[in-house]
Amino acid sequence: MRAVIQRVSQANVVIEGNQVATIEKGVLILLGIVPDDTHEDVKWLSNKITNMRIFPDDKNIMNISLLDSGGDAIVVSQFTLHASTKKGNRPSYIKAAKPDIAIPLYKTFVKQLETDLNKSVQTGEFGADMKVSLLNDGPVTIIVDTKNKE
Q: Which of 79, 109, 122, 146 is catalytic?
A: 79
SS3 120: coil
Question: Is 79 marked active-site?
Answer: yes
Q: Which residues contact 94 (CB under 8 A, 6 or more apart)?
A: 84
Closest CA to 106 of 19, 29, 50: 29
Helix 99-117 with 39-51: angle, nearest 10 deg: 40
Burial of 32: CB neighbours in 10 Å, binned 0-12, 13-18, 19+: buried
Q: Which of 19, 38, 80, 115 is catalytic?
A: 80
Q: Which of 6, 50, 78, 122 is catalytic?
A: 78
Question: Is 126 marked active-site?
Answer: no
Question: Is 55 marked active-site?
Answer: no
Residues marked active site are found at 78-80
